[in-house]
Structure 1
Amino acid sequence: MKRTTRTAVLTVGALIATLGVPSAAAHAEDALPRVDLRVLVVSDGGPAVDAIAAELEAAGTPYTEVDLTRPDRPAIDAGFLADTVDGRPRAKYQAVVLPDDNPFPADSPEMTALATYERTYDIPQVDAYTYARPEAGLQYPVHGGYAGSVDGAQAEVTAAGRAGPFGYLDGRVPFEDNSPTVGESYAYLSTPAPGADFTPYVEAVIPGRTQRGSLVGEYRHDGRRELVVTFVYNRHQQQFRLLARGIVDWMTGGVHLGASRNYFAVHVDDVFAADDRWDTRLNCTPGDVDCPEGEGTPDPIRMTPADVDHATSWQRRRNFTLDLAYNGAGSVDQRQDNDGADALADRLIAERDEFRWINHTYTHAFLGCEQDTTVVPWRCATDTDGGTRWVDRATISDEIATNRAWGRTTGLPLHDDELVTGEHSGLKVLPQQPDDNPNLAPALADNDIAWLASDNSRDPVQRRVGPATTVSRYPVNVFYNAGRVAEQVDEYNWIYTGRAQGGSGICEDNPATTTCLPAPLDTATGYTEHIVPLETRTALGHVLANDPKPHFIHQSNLAEDRIAYPVLNGVLDGYEALFADNTPVVNLRMKDIGRELRRRAAWTAALRDGRVTAHRIGGTVTVEAPDGTAVTATVPTGTTLAGGAFGEAYAGRASGWTPSAGQALVFTLPPSATTGAATADDGPAPAAKTRPTKPAPDTRVPAGVRDRVPYTPQS
């Protein structure tokens, strides 16, 4: 999405001539300018511009980046910004993102060119992070404002913000405070300058005063519009994630390629089976590969019918559906050992339509290399010639097919093309198994598997495995071998403390580990006070990042102390406190997540290769994309395509995907979306008033913005 064309700097007069402002005598419809649906991002290498670019990238919104730090960058002049296509004036960018309100030297012809371009075509400008000053429509902070840390601040969307670009928020915009020793946020809080046409959209109380100062607001001046942001952020921080959608909506007027939603899906593995329990004395799990063979006594954890009732009641109350990945042999073995009785299976089958179901293989067998468990950690068994011994194709295929048949017999509403293998086995597992089992792909083909789960912590990029496409899942740090709070905390302490404290030493061996503990957690309070807040913030961060990948836990976490629910409730409660009803969590099943990820990858590739073009002329948007490519767009509600309504309502807009047959797709915007659009009859915009052209002052960027501060319980 980079553009490297170099053009020469022009004077203001030459720029206006080159822009080709339509004459008032021309027919209005014919003389309407064309505005390409592409954003110009001018970067100084700072985190705020990088965050906005990342938001555009994730949504699939095309942009051109100009890096001001590169000596070989193109000059931003008239030819770079606009030209004429088929006799019609063309604005090459629908919006401009700058590092601040003026990142150029004093009297810069580039800033002059941008200002003239914005006035001529009514192109909005985002000041990604700028000093509060009259040039940005605000008073200097020394005039009753504030310049300093806003770690932990509670900002609010104003009435104008809720009626405008931030209407998807419920009002609160909390700022992170993840470390008591690292500065993570910095802002210039101020009020509008006298006489300035400035509308605050997001405000916070000025420390030491009752008055509120602007953090995000719109400044209208000299025939131009600027979104003025006076706090610094990076792409990961919650405050940016909450406001990112509104920033893009404001700059594009709600008309752009790409789309963004907030997704949350939770897979529960090992249903019908039992999970071995962590031994707090041995610091391993008897019956599993992390304990030496024969050491300890297995103590399985398995759900009960009461746990099923709790899960169904929880789902109805939360309007949320869990995906249950099941192992049929767990119930078969239970019935064999209990004279045909399995109350858990009976209850789950009776409530089967309350859940979504995924094939998790019949016995949960490890389907990669044959494991040598005589050592800890385990290793791949080898032949006499040193070659890896692999689980064979027939065994893998039988695990898939037998579980499917068992599920069909019990009436589970299955989608046969979805599969989660036990421990994601068959796929590569580092360090023991650096390659996929070569027998996995043929076995997937034997069973028509199209969607295969993978572990995002070790296999994050969607890829093909034979006929299947992977769907990476986020592991939640609520352990499979814990059904009780005390066990969870004990294991957490062992993993994340140093050897001198009786821990595993993983943090000493891997200093980049972000969940290391300075001291062991209290087994009575550590879960509620540390683990739950940490896991909640991590998962909610994924939800707010337009990331549809599912999270996974285990059936043991829904049993006994039901330790998963505090985390799940934390995510959903936190979300509901932040977002308006028009922006619900999107809860997709696995194959739909896979399709979303696959469409995004194809769309991103088409954008990267320059095979997509889109532009707007008045109330019409035209998109051209390669045959077979699904096109994604966000438009005002009421937009039509081929005579029918386009997309689904979300966050106050309509968005979605539509297939391209290689011919132009023509969207018709509702009349309300064309109000204020540039027209030929308007003629040139008013000439700019005399304003200082000095660059914006340097702004402070704390360490916690340049280097992300991991979530901690202190926030």
Structure 2
Amino acid sequence: MKRTIRTALLTAGALIAALGIPSTAARADAAAPRIDLRVLVVSDGGPATEAIAAELDTAGTPYTEIDLTRSDRPVIDADYLADTVDGRERAKFQAVVLPNDNPFPANSAEMAALVAYERAYDVPQVDAYTYARPEAGLQYPVHGGYSGSVDGVQAEVTDAGRAGPFGYLDGPVPFEDNSPTVGESYAYLSTPVAGADFTPYVQAPIPGTTKRGSLVGEYRHDGRRELVVTFVYNRHQQQFRLLARGIVQWMTGGVHLGSSRNYFAVHVDDVLAADDRWNSELNCTPGDVDCTDPDAVPDPIRMTPADVDRAVAWQREHGFTLDLAYNGAGSVDHREDGDGTDPLADRFLAERDEFRWINHTYTHAFLGCEQDTTVVPWRCATHADGSTKWVSRNDISDEIALNRVWGQTSGLPLDNGELVTGEHSGLRVLPQQPTDNPHLAPALADNGVTWLASDNSREPDQRRVAPATTVPRYPMNIFYNAGRAAEQVDEYNWIYTSRAQGGSGICEDNPATTTCLPAPLDTATGYAEHIVPLERRIALGHVLANDPKPHFIHQSNLAEDRIAYPVLDGVLDGYAALFAENTPVVNLRMKDIGVELQRRAAWRAAVRDGQVTAHRIGGTVTVEGPDGVAVPATMPEGTTRSGSVFGGAYAGGRSGWTPPTSAPLVLALPPSAVPAPATGADGSAPATAPAPKARVPEGVAEPVSPGTNG
């Protein structure tokens, strides 16, 4: 054993010499090295490294990925990791992510190169998912620890974690348990080796004992720092989503390109109009184009003044603002068909400043092709020559302009650049209408529309529609034609059960559907017990994924049983229980979401095309990118730009977009953000033995469907 250790030390020393790096003491007064703001991700194809790479990608943080399973991959050696630029030493990566603490064969020159590099430049290493063993600072699990499922376990951030990289969390880190029949999480729980400089950041109870074992912790040894993660995860699981920000914070010291927020916005469509009700006997919605029974009579659902009061109170309770997409004709028709009054509109207008408002067209007309409803499903009507009959430019423009004028006359605080068309019509819809209505773009230009809502389930990417850019919205599975919980469950059963069970059979025709049911839900309990938890989990997943896209429901869901609130409460109350006050939900209006998505697309393209360079020298960060592209960055508190405070406060740091400029972006870090070199507790040599293969359960390798009830 002594011979092995000495060999490892000589190898590391030789590599430091090969890198041309003087010892820490020798270079104490020399110029600081240049550290490029880029992460090296070494992957073995497993879900853990893929999850970290996805987190970096979503935030806009540059990284280079090496796939160990590829024979044509680059070799990790001294030249790959470091060089000299303009006479200054350059470390090409600010952090290293490995699939485990040592994924290479025994006595690997590549692992030795990484060890030497990390020691020389104080570059931290993340062990994405590793076995608990002394080489990682932990006891083997057989020595009073645990190896096995942690489905449904409540982990906790330690005091050190909250004081360090996980300070944006309140403490609880619940592990998902979405299916009683599928293993979704696996972990090695253990305690630090005696004498090891190991600090647990996230712990969970060790079954059968009174002790807690580490799930995430920092191991300092041999002049290196490792973040040791001993549970497996995929990019979608809540436990990873909660900890992902802290993993990136730890590996970068809070200094990196890209930024991340937790966003939530909810659009309420059809406000002032009425939504037709689902008919449980016909299994369709009278009044809808696909409900053709001649005896079917529409049964409208419309909010009341009391529902407005509830919405106002709910917003104030949660510090959250709903976006109301309104149809002015709904109020005009109500007055004309009744006694000339509309108490609902009067109440909304009295509380107009409590909400944000979006033009949803005057009558909610379908603005694509003219619909031929003589067949089910409908089809586009055609001229004699077979060409498509389109709704005209004038008709589209009138729908937009009349609703805008109604809103302005009523004193609504509008942004005229925002528009939601009825059913996202005018945009292509498959299979009937594979292209946009050619008259849509000119009508948008006529009315100054710059942001147009689209359905994320159809078109998840932004695109241009002449003067406008789309803002994809997530449809929540709370149906527009349901005001009562029992109606919602009845329709849900119809859609998502088999034909043999009285359902539509959609799951038989499309097995990829994720919300399929093994059996119909109880109409009395199914909403609270199945649909609410599922929709809450899906929406909260979007919130935790740095995803600003809005969700949309309908005014019917705020009426009668007010079925939207249990889901919205679940998202916001669940969030509040997990996050510290320094990490609030960001609630943007539609145009700001559009700008955020647009900036991200431009930034990702610049990074992908190699147009961005960024580095840190001591306490100065310099970023260069193409003209016209705003730069997202995350920095510690106290960071300044040209003497002014940089960015906005979020999650314990500063982050935000800098305006595009032709000059390099230069940021000054606070003295506390300049790290001291790592020191080891025992001076031991790096391990040369590869890490044992850790178990990956089925529910991580193939994520459990969000539709599975647990």
Instruction: Tell me the TM-score range normalised by the shorter chain.
Output: over 0.9
**Counterpart code for 1:562:** R
The Cα of 1:664 is off from its aligned counterpart by 1.1
Alpha-carbon distance between aligned partners in 2 of 1:406 and 1:29, rounded to the nearest angstrom: 70
Alpha-carbon distance between aligned partners in 2 of 1:26 and 1:622, rounded to the nearest angstrom: 26
Match of 1:487 in 2: 487
The Cα of 1:456 is off from its aligned counterpart by 0.4
What are the superposed Cα offsets for residues 55-89 of structure 1, whole Å, 9 maximum, x if unpaired? Answer: 00000000001111111111100010001111111
**Counterpart code for 2:337:** D
Match of 2:178 in 1: 178
Secondary structure of the 2:453 match is strand
Match of 1:53 in 2: 53
**Counterpart code for 1:43:** S
The Cα of 1:207 is off from its aligned counterpart by 1.1
- Is the contact between residue 77 and residue 113 of structure 1 (CA under 8 Å) also seen in structure 2? yes
Match of 2:575 in 1: 575
Alpha-carbon distance between aligned partners in 2 of 1:201 and 1:176, rounded to the nearest angstrom: 19
Moved more, 339-348 or 227-236: 339-348
**Counterpart code for 2:609:** D
Alpha-carbon distance between aligned partners in 2 of 1:677 and 1:330, rounded to the nearest angstrom: 67
Secondary structure of the 1:162 match is helix
Match of 1:461 in 2: 461
The Cα of 1:410 is off from its aligned counterpart by 0.3
Match of 1:656 in 2: 656
Secondary structure of the 2:267 match is strand
What are the superposed Cα offsets for residues 101-146 of structure 1, whole Å, 9 maximum, x if unpaired? Answer: 0000000011000001000000000000000000000000000001
**Counterpart code for 2:705:** P
- Is the contact between residue 196 and residue 681 of structure 2 (CA under 8 Å) also seen in structure 1? no
Secondary structure of the 2:512 match is coil
**Counterpart code for 1:196:** A
The Cα of 1:485 is off from its aligned counterpart by 1.0
What are the superposed Cα offsets for residues 322-357 of structure 1, whole Å, 9 maximum, x if unpaired? Answer: 000000000111111123200000000110000000
Structure-2-length-normalised TM-score? 0.97
- Is the contact between residue 618 and residue 677 of structure 1 (CA under 8 Å) also seen in structure 2? no
Match of 2:586 in 1: 586
The Cα of 1:31 is off from its aligned counterpart by 1.1
Match of 1:478 in 2: 478
Match of 1:267 in 2: 267
Gaps of 5+ in 1: 1-9
The Cα of 1:289 is off from its aligned counterpart by 1.3
**Counterpart code for 1:341:** T
What are the superposed Cα offsets for residues 543-601 of structure 1, whole Å, 9 maximum, x if unpaired? Answer: 00000000000000000110100000010111011111110000000000000000000
What are the superposed Cα offsets for residues 174-208 of structure 1, whole Å, 9 maximum, x if unpaired? Answer: 11111111111101000001111100000000111
- Is the contact between residue 285 and residue 298 of structure 1 (CA under 8 Å) also seen in structure 2? yes
Q: How does 1:367-446 map to 2 (within 5 A)?
A: 367-446=367-446
Pairwise CA RMSD: 1.7
Q: How does 1:95-110 map to 2 (within 5 A)?
A: 95-110=95-110
Structure 1 residues 75, 687: closer, same or farther in 2, change over 3 A?
Answer: farther
Structure-1-length-normalised TM-score? 0.96
- Is the contact between residue 18 and residue 82 of structure 1 (CA under 8 Å) also seen in structure 2? no
Match of 2:704 in 1: 709
Alpha-carbon distance between aligned partners in 2 of 1:285 and 1:633, rounded to the nearest angstrom: 49
Alpha-carbon distance between aligned partners in 1 of 2:307 and 2:330, rounded to the nearest angstrom: 16
Match of 2:689 in 1: 694
Secondary structure of the 1:284 match is coil
Match of 2:145 in 1: 145
The Cα of 1:647 is off from its aligned counterpart by 0.6
Secondary structure of the 2:519 match is coil
Alpha-carbon distance between aligned partners in 2 of 1:693 and 1:24, rounded to the nearest angstrom: 24
**Counterpart code for 2:55:** E
- Is the contact between residue 222 and residue 685 of structure 2 (CA under 8 Å) also seen in structure 1? no
**Counterpart code for 2:188:** Y
Match of 2:3 in 1: none
Secondary structure of the 2:301 match is coil
Secondary structure of the 1:291 match is coil
Secondary structure of the 1:188 match is strand
Alpha-carbon distance between aligned partners in 2 of 1:301 and 1:545, rounded to the nearest angstrom: 34
The Cα of 1:500 is off from its aligned counterpart by 1.2
Structure 1 residues 706, 675: closer, same or farther in 2, change over 3 A?
Answer: closer
Alpha-carbon distance between aligned partners in 2 of 1:222 and 1:288, rounded to the nearest angstrom: 70
**Counterpart code for 1:659:** P
Structure 1 residues 77, 275: closer, same or farther in 2, change over 3 A?
Answer: same
**Counterpart code for 1:711:** P
Q: How does 1:42-191 map to 2 (within 5 A)?
A: 42-191=42-191
Alpha-carbon distance between aligned partners in 1 of 2:599 and 2:608, rounded to the nearest angstrom: 14
Structure 1 residues 509, 13: closer, same or farther in 2, change over 3 A?
Answer: same
Alpha-carbon distance between aligned partners in 1 of 2:580 and 2:70, rounded to the nearest angstrom: 42
Secondary structure of the 2:416 match is coil
- Is the contact between residue 516 and residue 707 of structure 2 (CA under 8 Å) also seen in structure 1? no
Secondary structure of the 1:694 match is coil
The Cα of 1:15 is off from its aligned counterpart by 3.0
- Is the contact between residue 647 and residue 657 of structure 1 (CA under 8 Å) also seen in structure 2? yes
Secondary structure of the 1:50 match is helix
Alpha-carbon distance between aligned partners in 2 of 1:580 and 1:325, rounded to the nearest angstrom: 32
Secondary structure of the 1:31 match is coil
Structure 1 residues 373, 422: closer, same or farther in 2, change over 3 A?
Answer: same
Confirm or deny that 1:332 pairs with 2:332.
Answer: yes
Match of 1:204 in 2: 204
Secondary structure of the 2:112 match is helix
The Cα of 1:19 is off from its aligned counterpart by 2.7
Secondary structure of the 1:286 match is coil
- Is the contact between residue 630 and residue 659 of structure 1 (CA under 8 Å) also seen in structure 2? yes
What are the superposed Cα offsets for residues 282-309 of structure 1, whole Å, 9 maximum, x if unpaired? Answer: 1111011120163410111100000000
**Counterpart code for 1:164:** G
Alpha-carbon distance between aligned partners in 1 of 2:509 and 2:490, rounded to the nearest angstrom: 20
What are the superposed Cα offsets for residues 16-60 of structure 1, whole Å, 9 maximum, x if unpaired? Answer: 234332578989676111100000000000000000000000000
The Cα of 1:660 is off from its aligned counterpart by 3.0
Alpha-carbon distance between aligned partners in 2 of 1:295 and 1:584, rounded to the nearest angstrom: 51
Match of 1:7 in 2: none
Match of 1:20 in 2: 20
Secondary structure of the 1:416 match is strand
Match of 1:4 in 2: none
Q: How does 1:587-626 map to 2 (within 5 A)?
A: 587-626=587-626
The Cα of 1:13 is off from its aligned counterpart by 5.1
Alpha-carbon distance between aligned partners in 2 of 1:383 and 1:324, rounded to the nearest angstrom: 37
The Cα of 1:688 is off from its aligned counterpart by 6.3
- Is the contact between residue 219 and residue 227 of structure 1 (CA under 8 Å) also seen in structure 2? yes
What are the superposed Cα offsets for residues 348-368 of structure 1, whole Å, 9 maximum, x if unpaired? Answer: 011000000000000000001
Moved more, 382-391 or 694-703: 382-391
The Cα of 1:711 is off from its aligned counterpart by 2.7
What are the superposed Cα offsets for residues 408-430 of structure 1, whole Å, 9 maximum, x if unpaired? Answer: 00000000000000000001111
Give the aligned length. Answer: 701
The Cα of 1:526 is off from its aligned counterpart by 0.6
Alpha-carbon distance between aligned partners in 1 of 2:673 and 2:172, rounded to the nearest angstrom: 28
